[in-house]
A and B are shown apart, each in its own frame.
Chain A
Amino acid sequence: MSQTKQVKQLDRVIIRFAGDSGDGMQLTGDRFTQESAVFGNDLVTLPNFPAEIRAPQGTLPGVSSFQVHFADHDILTAGDRPDVLVAMNPAALKANVGDLPKGAAIIVDTHDFTKRNLDKAGYDTNPLDLLGDANDPLGDFQVHPVDLTGMTVEAVKEYGLSRKDAARAKNMFALGLLSWMYGRPTEPTTAFLENKFKKAPAILGANLTAFKAGWNFGETTETFVVRYEIKPAKLPEGTYRNITGNLALSYGLIAAGVRSGLPVFLGSYPITPASDILHELSKHKAFGVTTLQAEDEIAGIGAAIGASFAGSLGVTTTSGPGIALKSEAIGLAVMTELPLLVIDVQRGGPSTGLPTKTEQADLMQAMYGRNGEAPVPIVAPQSPGDCFSAAVEAARIAITYRTPVMLLSDGYLANGSEPWQVPSIDDLPVIDPDFATALNHASPKAAEGEPDEFWPYLRDQETLARPWAIPGTPGLEHRIGGLEKGEGHGNISYDPANHDLMVRTRQAKIEAIAKSLPPLEVDDPSGEAKVLVIGWGSTYGPIGAACRRVRRAGYHVAQTHLRHLNPFPADLGDVLKRYDKVLVPEMNLGQLSRLLRAEFLVDAIGYNHVRGLPLKAAELAEAVGQLVGEAEGTEVDLGEHGLNPPSDHEEAPSR
């Protein structure tokens, strides 16, 4: 029975798909995201899954979820609180319902609400039996109980699959239903399924049928009477694609190889959440990329250092625990002054910590986690798409200054995605390896001062970089290593004055990188802000969203974000001094704030959460608002732009 459906305009929606870790929620969320991207919405995603590949079925720890925030304007975060929850079993409902704001919609698959599964989720009574009762625990929400599994099995029975296999298509039924509800284009998913299951016609048929059945169910059922329309966002002109941080980072490494003319050599050991970079790069041998899955973390960086010595762009990828193991080798690269990219996709720590959750608590490790004075430049991307240009920038520094560079991504950037404006290759910097090919020093016995020796530590006066002479270059044979070098000639030296000079020179070389950095961009629309919010890495989104909220509420706040953590941009000290108060939101206990305090003697105030999840914009906005109030000596009330509903509006205020 078809009926007229009401169409309602919305400017943004946050949907969370949640189910058992075997239910295909990541795929469902990813497909919905692709549909929304192709439709032209701006979007940000937040996948959240357990570390176990198949955690015990039906349990709370086994719940996997995927949140997507999409809008008709530019947005910065995956949203604090979902407007819609799709829950595939009791555990998924229980684990996620606490995050929902009053009035949120819940679409729940009733099929798994059995005694056994309710017990596993810790429900004494079936909450769906209490809907509408006085003590309805879901009374604050619009609940739509639907037998998604039952309808899926019924819809796909012509394919003769086992009941279990048939039921597996339920995620596509849910996707079809949500795609109908939000007017998503279906072609990308149809094409995706046709490609994915081209060798399994029955599975393909079942998935396509379930997807269509979900769509048709929305169209015909009386359960859903409203469809929603979220118009495309007005993004800057260009070609866009949706991209995750790990994919963008992989492409950035390939681009660095292309722009430097160096073969990329990745030595890596699998570790969550960095492994996808190894997987991706291993597909791109046609660009001259070599990937070596090493026997351990140390061998991964060892091989990369060897490849760099031999004239490749050596790269190693890992997460925090891997950096701990690689520390000594990073020190070797500092001492031998070889180009090297060390990519740390940070996760919750310490130790094994939270492998699949995000955190940015490796900044101090990146900065100081080595013996001796071993300075390493640090670069951090601020969004998934930004991982591309951050990788190119890290390579520029590594090759130009002959140094290991630490690139700090994190789990949220790695797996989260956003629309990314595809760059033109010609717009990327050209990176000149500038290999040494000639003798560079005249010994006392040299005829007429003509160079007759090669000094591997004779530096470029501007960059302080040493020459990179690769094996195979005649006449430049030399030895390098971890022992202290004599300035210039590079032979072993235990001389006290020389060591002091070399320690200072290595430090000065890293500091000299600041001269090549652009001035810091400060977003202070009114120019009247007394409070500066400064961050680094993936907190860019929540910080930006929080600042927009504060401004929409009528207050002044400035924001800046650091791409370079070591060295800091040359004008950072001046920027900090311009503001009365400086707030530093971080997913750690205050690592950047400590560096800022130490470097600039500024009273940097920390805002710190380490929950394994991105910062929540509304909470952060309240903290910013409070500081603005203190700075300006006024009472600040953010109203609906803070924690009060309706929340999660991230549009920049019109100027």
Chain B
Amino acid sequence: MSTPTSTELPLPALRTGTESVPAAEGPQTAKEFTSDQEVRWCPGCGDYAVLKAVQSFLPDLGLRRENIVFVSGIGCSSRFPYYLDTYGMHSIHGRAPSIATGIATAREDLSVWVVTGDGDALSIGGNHLIHALRRNVNMTILLFNNRIYGLTKGQYSPTSEVGKVTKSTPVGSLDHPFNPVSLALGAEASFVARTIDSDRKHLTAVLAAAAAHRGTSFVEIYQNCPIFNDGAFDAIKDRDTKEHAIIPLEHGKPITFGVRDEETGLGDKALARAGGGVEVVETAAVPTEQLLVHDAHNPDPSTAFAISRLTDAGYLHRSPIGIFRQVERPTYDDLARAQVADAKAKAAQSGGTDADRLTKLLNAGDTWNVG
């Protein structure tokens, strides 16, 4: 019986997320990326804003349209691929990351995107999500989190707050919710970010960073469902409250929020280390050098995880927004292709076609001739 051994894998040079995808020949427009299908989300749905943002972002990405693939599962957000004039697959509930893994591993020259929701990714498809993240397959996962089941008409989701009264929980839900960013960091995802449907500028910047990252980029998008969970993100969207509710993350800068000081640019609240985690402090109450400076490139995800815990598990009053983590590590698909390429190169040295080598393989071992 053989004992598993670890082998030195050929390590491809780390590259950007899209560099193996052929570039477009000329400028593109949002219209080119818009399919002829009628968009059928409810009026006021946050998905419209994300769709618009993606349609206008894709031309900036500068890739050939035929080399872009959007894959989705089931749920309101999963209709997304129908509205983009790229290649696409609207698959089955929760399985989009596994299908995208096959596409991304089979083809280096494709830019692969997964569109999913909180139910699709975190409930029925939770297993595929965490394994895609640990493998670090080169693709971008957009998780539209509206904290409710929309397409099945209003049951609580794995991100709904405890006690949520819905059709399936008339006296309140009992499940403790997932924090998607914490979950992704726990799975050691190499790129983890959170953004908001209504903030086109931030959303677009995060999409650009996610696409540029080689590996699985995980982007949680807070998305309002006006029908079944309206106002779930009001605190971070409302003009009056958002500066106190959004904790903006910017690599290399102290993490502060609240009322900005004109001179220093710092908010009146800040994050500082406390014990094993982080806490919110009054900026004025601590020396500037003790303010937590965001380091998205830290190989250890512990601090990013601690920051992710500042999101309310119940009704959302406050949440860190931005890129939590962006580290480089080899991607599964690059390594898998390298193993195949390596074996092919070695075989090529001995000459002959695949058919010749197959003949040799079939005739290997103990053979005998009759006649």
Decide: A290 and B340 in contact? CB cutoff 8 A.
yes
A240-B367 CB under 8 A given contacts A267-B102, A299-B98, A481-B91: yes
Decide: A285 and B339 in contact? CB cutoff 8 A.
yes
B251 at the A/B interface (Cβ < 8 Å)? no
26 interchain pairs (CB within 8 A)? A240-B368, A241-B362, A251-B358, A254-B361, A265-B102, A265-B105, A267-B102, A285-B343, A286-B357, A288-B344, A290-B340, A292-B101, A294-B98, A295-B127, A299-B95, A299-B128, A310-B102, A311-B107, A424-B359, A471-B87, A471-B107, A471-B110, A476-B66, A477-B65, A481-B81, A482-B92
B90 at the A/B interface (Cβ < 8 Å)? yes
Interface centre among A237, A255, A287, A476, by most B CB within 10 Å?
Answer: A287
Q: Which of A235, A303, A475 contacts B370 (CB 8 A)?
A: A235
Q: Which of A258, A303, A336 contacts B89 (CB 8 A)?
A: A336
Q: Which A residues touch B92, using CB under 8 A?
A: 328-329, 331-332, 482
Q: Which positions in B face A, CB cutoff 8 Å?
A: 35, 37, 64-69, 71-72, 74, 81-82, 84-93, 95, 98-107, 109-110, 127-128, 131, 336-337, 339-340, 342-344, 346-347, 354-355, 357-359, 361-363, 365-371
Decide: A299 and B131 in contact? CB cutoff 8 A.
yes
A518 at the A/B interface (Cβ < 8 Å)? no
Decide: B340 and A310 in contact? CB cutoff 8 A.
no
Q: Which of B85, B103, B367, B368 contacts A307 (CB 8 A)?
A: B103
A45 at the A/B interface (Cβ < 8 Å)? no
Q: Which of B99, B131, B346, B367 contacts A295 (CB 8 A)?
A: B131
Decide: A474 and B66 in contact? CB cutoff 8 A.
yes
Given contacts A303-B102, A328-B93, A471-B68, 18 further A-B contacts (CB under 8 A): A37-B366, A37-B368, A235-B370, A240-B367, A241-B366, A263-B106, A286-B344, A288-B354, A292-B336, A306-B102, A307-B103, A309-B99, A311-B106, A471-B103, A474-B65, A475-B66, A481-B88, A482-B90
A133-158 residues with Cβ-Cβ distance < 8 A to B are: none
B-facing mask of A12-31, CB < 8 A → 1, else 0? 00000000000000000000
Decide: A471 and B102 in contact? CB cutoff 8 A.
no
Q: Which B residues touch A310, using CB under 8 A?
A: 69, 102-103, 106-107, 110
Q: Which of B72, B91, B362 contacts A251 (CB 8 A)?
A: B362
A238-B128 CB under 8 A given contacts A290-B336, A310-B110, A479-B90: no
Task: Return A62 CB to nearest CB of chain B, in Å.
Answer: 17
C-alpha gap A483/B151 in the complex (Å): 14
Q: Which B residues touch A299, using CB under 8 A?
A: 95, 98, 101, 127-128, 131
Q: Which A residues touch B339, using CB under 8 A?
A: 285
Q: Which of B90, B110, B367 contacts A480 (CB 8 A)?
A: B90
Decide: B105 and A307 in contact? CB cutoff 8 A.
yes
Task: Return B188 CB to nearest CB of chain A, in Å.
Answer: 15
Q: Which of A285, A296, A300 contacts B344 (CB 8 A)?
A: A285
Decide: B343 and A34 in contact? CB cutoff 8 A.
no
Query: Which A residue's beta carbon lies closest to that of B35?
Result: A479
Q: Which A residues touch B68, using CB under 8 A?
A: 471
A372 at the A/B interface (Cβ < 8 Å)? no
A95 at the A/B interface (Cβ < 8 Å)? no
Decide: A303 and B98 in contact? CB cutoff 8 A.
yes
Query: Which A residue's beta carbon lies closest to that of B370?
Result: A235
A569 at the A/B interface (Cβ < 8 Å)? no
Interface centre among B64, B89, B101, B104, by most A CB within 10 Å?
Answer: B89
Query: Which B residue's beta carbon lies closest to that of A263?
Result: B106
A305-B99 CB under 8 A given contacts A237-B370, A239-B367: yes
